[in-house]
């Protein structure tokens, strides 16, 4: 299908691109279903490709966040309104089960709160005073990392949180589809991915939402890798809350420690988690395990490397239980 390329601004020359009306999609409601799907797919693909140019800025934000959070006290704070707030909240809620990120170190500030049955209070997006109050009430400070997510970059609620958080010394990161927006100016690290006009004008859960989800996926995953929640490409801190995950946890110990599943399961039962099980299989006592992890900042690879060096040649990593 051929699409016309011009736009119809719905406000003025400074209208956010995500709010523009694209002529190429006029008559959408009369199109065959396959043409609608092709248009949606094309828009999503462009949004994904647009994220590539943001990787250097994202890298700086990740490195800054790891540095802030490595002390074990700082919190990850997600802020947003509307669709952006929901996408931010989704990323936040996936961190505890995937990486065992503590609830005490996670804050989600969504305008109007989350009500999955009745939807969000859309008017709350305009409440700058409410956003500032949430930031103050949350006690944001220099140890915290605050991510503000807004497609237009103009959500008063989200901008106010970013401004207040930065004034209080927190590391602030903006994720938006609009370069030069108020949210970008408010944050120390500004990540803008211009995704253009939506197939359905202003419906930023589409292309803008795809870019936001992708950027948040990359950000939080890279941060958790940097904090030692991943060994090789295995999520060693995941919570084994069901049978499938318990099997996966055992398989992870098998993979790292190079032992059979029975021995891995026994080590998990005795030591409680992957890191401690692997270190136990490396020949450490309980006290040695705790000391090694404390010294390594919880990083399994570092703890294993130091253990191997201390024990000298002939004592391979994680071969068998003592």
Q: Are residues 83 and 171 in the same domain?
A: yes
- The 3-class SS string of 61-97 reads HHHHHHHHHCCCCCCEEEEECHHHHHHHHHHHHHHHH
Asked whether residue 242 is assigned to any structural domain, the reply reads yes
Q: What's 250's domain CATH number?
A: 1.10.8.1080
Q: What's 76's domain CATH number?
A: 3.40.50.10490
Active site residue 125: yes
Q: Are residues 96 and 176 in the same domain?
A: yes
**What is the structure's pLDDT at 286?**
93
Interval 255-299: pLDDT, tens: 999 999 999 999 999 999 999 999 999 999 999 999 999 999 999
Asked whether residue 32 is assigned to any structural domain, the reply reads no
Active site residue 163: no
Asked whether residue 195 is assigned to any structural domain, the reply reads yes
Beta bridge partners of 289: none
Q: Are residues 208 and 243 in the same domain?
A: no
Domain ranges, residue 297:
230-311
**What is the structure's pLDDT at 115?**
76
Asked whether residue 38 is assigned to any structural domain, the reply reads no
- The count of C-alpha atoms lying within 13 angstroms of the C-alpha of 77, restricted to the half-sphere facing its C-beta, is 32
Among 206, 226, 246, the domain boundary falls at: 226
Interval 77-119: pLDDT, tens: 999 999 999 999 999 999 999 999 999 999 999 999 877 767 7
- The count of C-alpha atoms lying within 13 angstroms of the C-alpha of 215, restricted to the half-sphere facing its C-beta, is 38
Torsion of CA 104, 108, 113, 116, to 10 degrees: -90
CA 119, 125, 127, 130 torsion-angle sign: positive
Q: Are residues 87 and 130 in the same domain?
A: yes
Among 174, 208, 226, the domain boundary falls at: 226
How many domains does one find in the chain? 2
- Phi first, then psi, for residue 210 (nearest 5°) are -60, -45
Q: Are residues 76 and 173 in the same domain?
A: yes
Catalytic residue among 19, 38, 125, 321: 125
Q: Say which residues have a Cβ less than 8 Å from residue 303's Cβ, sequence separation at least 6.
A: 275, 279, 292, 293, 295, 296
Among 204, 226, 248, the domain boundary falls at: 226
Residue 320 pLDDT exceeds 50: no
Beta bridge partners of 235: 230
Asked whether residue 213 is assigned to any structural domain, the reply reads yes
Q: Are residues 199 and 297 in the same domain?
A: no
DSSP-derived 3-state class of residue 228: coil
DSSP-derived 3-state class of residue 200: coil
Contact call for residues 38 and 195 (beta carbons, < 8 A): no
Q: Are residues 132 and 240 in the same domain?
A: no
**What is the structure's pLDDT at 12?**
38
Interval 217-241: pLDDT, tens: 999 999 999 999 999 999 999 999 9
Catalytic residue among 38, 94, 188, 288: 94
Asked whether residue 37 is assigned to any structural domain, the reply reads no
Strand order in the sheet with 106-110: 106-110, 76-80, 145-150, 171-176, 189-192
């Amino acid at each position: 299908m051929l699409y016309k390329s011009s736009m119809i601004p719905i406000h003025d020359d400074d209208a956010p691109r995500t709010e523009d009306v694209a002529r190429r999609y006029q008559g959408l409601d009369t199109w065959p279903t396959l043409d609608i799907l092709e248009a949606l797919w094309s828009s999503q693909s462009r949004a994904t490709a647009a994220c590539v140019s943001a990787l250097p800025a994202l890298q700086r934000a990740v490195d800054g966040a790891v540095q802030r959070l490595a002390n074990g006290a700082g919190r990850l704070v997600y802020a947003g309104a509307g669709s952006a707030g929901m996408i931010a909240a989704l990323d936040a809620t996936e961190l505890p089960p995937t990486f065992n990120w503590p609830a005490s170190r996670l804050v989600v500030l969504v305008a109007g709160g989350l009500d999955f049955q009745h939807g969000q209070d859309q008017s709350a997006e305009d409440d700058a005073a409410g956003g500032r109050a949430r930031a103050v009430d949350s006690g944001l400070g220099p140890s915290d990392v605050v991510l503000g997510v807004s497609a237009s970059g103009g959500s008063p609620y989200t901008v106010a949180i970013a401004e207040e958080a930065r004034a209080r010394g927190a590391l602030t990161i903006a994720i938006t589809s609009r370069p030069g927006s108020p949210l970008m100016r408010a944050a120390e690290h500004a990540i803008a991915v211009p995704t253009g006009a939506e197939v359905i004008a202003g419906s930023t859960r589409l292309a803008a939402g795809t870019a936001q989800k992708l950027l948040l996926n990359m950000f939080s995953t890279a941060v958790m890798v940097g904090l030692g929640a991943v060994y090789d490409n295995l999520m060693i801190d995941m919570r084994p809350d069901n049978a499938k995950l318990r099997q996966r946890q055992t398989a992870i110990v098998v993979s790292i420690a190079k032992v059979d599943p029975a021995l891995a399961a026994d080590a998990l039962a005795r030591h409680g988690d992957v890191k401690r099980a692997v270190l136990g299989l490396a020949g450490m006592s309980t006290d040695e395990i705790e000391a090694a992890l404390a010294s390594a900042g919880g990083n399994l690879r570092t703890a294993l490397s130091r253990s191997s060096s201390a024990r000298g040649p002939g004592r391979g990593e994680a071969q068998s239980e003592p």
